[in-house]
Amino acid sequence: MTVKLFEPYKLKNVTLKNRIVMSPMCMYSCYKEDGKVTDWHYTHYTARAVGQVGLIILEATAVTPQGRISPQDLGIWSDDHIEGLTNLVGMLKEHGAAAGIQIAHAGRKAELDQEIIAPSAIAFNEKMKTPKEMTLADIKDTIEAFKQAAVRAKKAGFDVIELHGAHGYLINEFLSPLSNHRNDEYGGSLENRYRFLKEVIDAVKTVWDGPLLVRVSANDYHPEGLNIDDYVQMCGWMKEQDVDLIDVSSGALVPARINVYPGYQVKYAEAIKHESNIDTGAVGLITSAKHAEEILQNERADLIIIARELLRDPYWPRTAAKELGVEIKAPVQYERGWNI
C-alpha cells in the first residue's frame, strides 16, 4: 500500500510535503490587545513545523478590531501587524512547512467592549450582545478589510489564505437564514445570502493569486437552518469563483447540540468533494493515522486537518508515520532520535 498521508499535495503554485494540516486554533495570546504576534505564537506554531506538519493555518486573525472574537485575538487590520507575521512565516518555512492564515471577522460573536456588527440585529444567545445591523457602507468597508488583510498576508509571505466562513462568525451569519433576516440584496434567497462571501472572494482575488481556502460549517443542526445540500450548492459557486479547497467543519451558527464521534464531519467533506467537484479537507475528531489514511484512500477528502490532537502531540506527523509503518524525514538536528 502507498501511504497517502505522506504524499505531497499541490495547491496551485504551492506543494505541501504531506496531507497533514494544522487546523486554525485561536490562542488568545495577544496580551497587549494589539493583535500583534507574541512569543507564544512563535513557539506554538514553530513547534508544529518542526513536528513536520505540511501546512500550518494560523488561528482566526481579525480583519478589523471590531471583528475580533476577544481583545486578545491575532490581527491583520493594520500594516503594523506585517512584521510579526513575516517573522513567523519565515520560521515556519525554515522547517519546511507551508504557512497559511485564516482571516476572519467575528460578527455577532465578538465579545468586546464596543459596538458589534452583523447582517441582522439578532444576538447569538441571551448572554451575548445584540449586534448592530450592518449598513451597505459597513458591508463595503468589511469587504475592503478582507481585501486589505489579503494584501498584508501576501506581504508577510503566506502561502495560503483561508477565509473563515464557518462557526457562526460574520461570513457564516450572512449565509444562514437563521442569522440573516435582511430585506436587501444581501438577504432572502440563498444567492442573496451568498452575495457577501461572493464579494469577499472576488475582492481578495484582485490582490491574491495564491491558494484560497474557505472554511464552512456544512450543517447548522437546526430544522430551519442550512444543511449539506445548501453547502453543496454554495461550494459549487465557490468552485466557479476559483476557490481551491473547502475546509469542511460544521455547527456553531446557533446554539445546538451536536452528536460528535470520530470523523463526524467527514461525510460533509465527502459530499462536497464529489457533488460540488472541489477538493476538500476533513476535520473533526480525527486522531489516528489509520483513520486519516482511510479518509484519503477512499477519496472522501484530500487533506486531513487536525486541531486538538496537535495540541497534545506537536509531533503528530511522526506519531502517524510510526502508526502506518513508514519513515519520514526528521529535522536534521533530531535525526539521531527520530526514526527509532
Distance CA(231)–CA(223), nearest Å, equals 15
60 is in an annotated binding site: yes
Distance CA(102)–CA(292), nearest Å, equals 23
Name the minimum Å distance from CB 285 to ligand FMN. 4
Tell me which of 3, 37, 49, 60 binds ligand FMN, using CB under 6 A.
60
Tell me which of 284, 293, 315, 316 binds ligand FMN, using CB under 6 A.
284
In Å, what is the CA distance from 337 to each residue of 240, 321, 323, 330?
47, 15, 17, 9
Tell me which of 4, 41, 108, 164 binds ligand FMN, using CB under 6 A.
164
Asked if residues 268 and 231 have their Cβ atoms less than 8 Å apart, the reply is yes
From the number of C-beta atoms within 10 Å of its C-beta (0-12, 13-18, 19+), residue 66 rates as buried
Nearer to ligand FMN, 22 or 278 (CB): 22
Tell me which of 14, 26, 112, 190 binds ligand FMN, using CB under 6 A.
26
Answer yes or no whether residue 285 interacts with ligand FMN by CB under 6 A.
yes
Answer yes or no whether residue 283 interacts with ligand FMN by CB under 6 A.
yes
Question: Looking at 111-119, 140-148, 292-300, 306-314, which segment touches ligand FMN (CB under 6 A)?
Answer: 306-314
203 is in an annotated binding site: no
Tell me which of 25, 47, 112, 151 binds ligand FMN, using CB under 6 A.
25
Distance CA(282)–CA(274), nearest Å, equals 13
Which distant-in-sequence residues (6+ apart) come within 8 Å of 158 by Cβ? Answer: 85, 89, 99, 100, 101, 210
Residue 256 phi, psi (nearest 5): -155, 150
Q: Which three cell numbers stand for residue 135?
A: 449598513
28 is in an annotated binding site: yes
Site for ligand FMN in 103-162 (CB under 6 A): none
Answer yes or no whether residue 181 interacts with ligand FMN by CB under 6 A.
no
Please give the residue ranges that form the binding site for ligand FMN (CB under 6 A).
23-26, 59-60, 102, 164, 166-167, 215, 249, 283-286, 306-309
